[in-house]
C-alpha cells in the first residue's frame, strides 16, 4: 500500500480536532494541498485561511499559542519555514510557544514543480533554532502518529511532509516516541544505515539486497532529527563501526550532519552521506530525480560498500 505522508497528517488532524478543542489550523492558501480541508469543513470556527501571507500566518499562530491554543500552520516547505523563518525564530521559538509548523511538498518528490518548490534546506533551517523539535516521518502511518504526539508537547515543532504517495512500512498502532529512533532491520553489523522520511523504504530495500550479497546491515529509522536519539545512534556506530545516512535533503546541515556532529564528539567512525550535494533540483519525475541526484537504492548500496572499505580493522584492541 502506498500513501503520502501528508495524508496521514490530515487524517490525524481531524481526530485531534475532536479530542482537543484548543487545536486550531491555519494555512496560506493551500487547504487542499496540505490536507487540512477535512479539518476546515468539520471545524470551520477553528480554521483560519491566511492567504498567501506566510509571515502573517506565523505571527497569528504565535498570538493564538500565547492565549492557550495549539496552532498548526501549514504550507509548502519552501514557504514555511522558507519564507517566514524570521517570524518562526522571533515570534515562536524565542517565546517557546507550542506552534506546530507543518512543511508539505518537501524534497525532490515534488517533481514537476521544480527547484523553486523543492524544499531541500528546511531541516537545516529548523534544527538550528533553539526550542524547536524536528520530525520527518517515514510514511503516512508515522505521520499520523507524529501529528498526535507533537500536539502534546509544550514547545514549537516542525513536521516535514511529502507530496508523493510512498510505501507504508509501519503500522498505525506501532509505538512512536519523539526522540527515539527505531531499528527496523538488523541483518548484522557491517554498517549502519541511518535514514529518515520516505527514503527509509529505499534503505530497507538496499539492505535486503546487500544481505543477499553477504553484506550485513542495520537499518535505523531516525524520524526525530531534533532531539537526536543519542543512545541508539551511538550504539549503532559502536556495533557497526561505519555509518551511511540517507535523506531527501541537502547533505550540508541536514540529518546526516546532525548524526555526524554527534559521532564526531562521542565516537567517530567512517561515514558516507546520501542526499543532495550542494545543488538545486529540477523539474522531472520523482523517481528519475532521485536517481539523478544520487538517492537511489543502487547509490545506497554503492556508498555502503565504500564506507565498509574505509573501516579500520582493530586487532587485539590496538
pLDDT at residue 113 tops 60: yes
pLDDT at residue 32 tops 70: yes
Cα(270)–Cα(242) distance, integer angstroms: 5
- Residue 107: strand, helix, or coil: coil
As a whole-number percent, the residues of the chain with pLDDT over 90 amount to 96
Going by DSSP bridges, is the β-strand pair 2-3/166-167 parallel, antiparallel, or unpaired?
antiparallel
pLDDT at site 314 = 44
Interval 114-133 mean pLDDT: 98
Q: Which three cell numbers stand for residue 113?
A: 514543480
Interval 196-223 mean pLDDT: 98
Q: How confident is the model at residue 316 (pLDDT cuts 50, 70, 90)?
A: very low
pLDDT at residue 285 tops 70: yes
Q: Which three cell numbers stand for residue 270?
A: 567512517
pLDDT in tens, 296-309: 999 999 999 999 99
CA nearest to 303, candidates 184, 185, 210, 223: 210
Domains within the chain, CATH numbers bracketed: 2-167 (3.40.50.970), 182-309 (3.40.50.920)
Interval 210-230 mean pLDDT: 98
pLDDT in tens, 150-172: 999 999 999 999 999 999 999 98
**Residue 121: active-site member:** no
pLDDT in tens, 74-92: 999 999 999 999 999 999 9
pLDDT at site 173 = 87
pLDDT at residue 197 tops 70: yes
Q: Concatenate the DSSP letters of all residues of 217-250 into one string.
A: EEEEE--EEES--HHHHHHHHHHHS-EEEEEEEE
pTM, to two decimals: 0.96
Q: Which of 11, 32, 54, 248 is catalytic?
A: 54
Interval 109-126 mean pLDDT: 95
pLDDT at site 258 = 98
Amino acid at each position: 500500500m502506498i500513501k503520502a505522508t501528508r495524508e496521514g497528517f490530515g487524517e490525524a488532524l481531524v481526530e485531534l480536532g475532536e479530542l482537543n478543542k484548543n487545536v486550531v489550523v491555519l494555512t496560506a492558501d493551500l487547504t487542499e494541498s496540505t490536507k487540512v480541508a477535512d479539518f476546515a469543513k468539520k471545524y470551520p470556527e477553528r480554521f483560519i485561511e491566511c492567504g498567501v501571507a506566510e509571515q502573517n500566518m506565523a505571527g497569528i499562530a504565535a498570538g493564538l499559542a500565547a492565549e492557550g491554543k495549539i496552532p498548526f500552520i501549514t504550507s509548502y516547505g519552501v514557504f514555511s519555514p522558507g519564507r517566514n523563518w524570521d517570524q518562526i525564530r522571533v515570534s515562536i521559538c524565542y517565546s517557546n510557544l507550542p506552534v506546530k509548523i507543518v512543511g508539505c511538498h518537501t524534497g525532490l518528490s515534488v517533481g514537476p514543480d521544480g527547484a523553486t518548490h523543492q524544499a531541500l534546506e528546511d531541516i537545516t533551517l529548523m534544527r538550528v533554532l533553539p526550542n524547536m523539535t524536528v520530525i520527518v516521518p517515514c510514511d503516512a502511518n508515522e505521520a499520523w502518529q507524529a501529528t498526535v504526539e507533537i500536539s502534546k508537547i509544550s514547545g514549537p515543532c516542525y513536521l516535514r511532509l511529502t507530496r508523493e504517495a510512498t510505501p507504508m512500512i509501519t503500522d498505525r498502532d506501532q509505538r512512536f516516541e519523539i526522540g527515539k529512533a527505531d531499528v527496523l532491520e538488523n541483518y548484522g553489523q557491517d554498517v549502519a544505515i541511518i535514514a529518515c522520511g520516505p527514503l527509509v523504504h529505499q534503505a530497507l530495500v538496499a539492505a535486503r539486497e546487500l544481505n543477499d550479497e553477504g553484506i550485513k546491515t542495520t537499518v535505523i529509522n531516525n524520524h526525530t532529527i531534533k532531539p537526536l536519539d543519542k543512545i541508539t545512534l551511538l550504539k549503532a556506530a559502536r556495533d557497526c563501526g561505519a555509518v551511511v545516512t540517507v535523506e531527501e535533503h541537502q547533505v550540508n546541515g541536514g540529518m546526516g550532519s546532525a548524526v555526524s556532529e554527534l559521532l564526531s564528539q562521542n565516537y567517530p567512525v567512517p561515514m558516507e552521506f546520501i542526499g543532495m550535494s550542494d545543488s538545486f533540483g529540477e523539474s522531472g519525475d520523482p523517481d528519475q530525480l532521485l536517481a539523478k541526484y544520487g538517492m537511489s537504492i543502487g547509490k545506497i548500496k554503492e556508498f555502503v560498500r565504500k564506507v565498509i572499505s574505509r573501516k579500520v580493522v582493530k586487532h587485539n584492541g590496538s
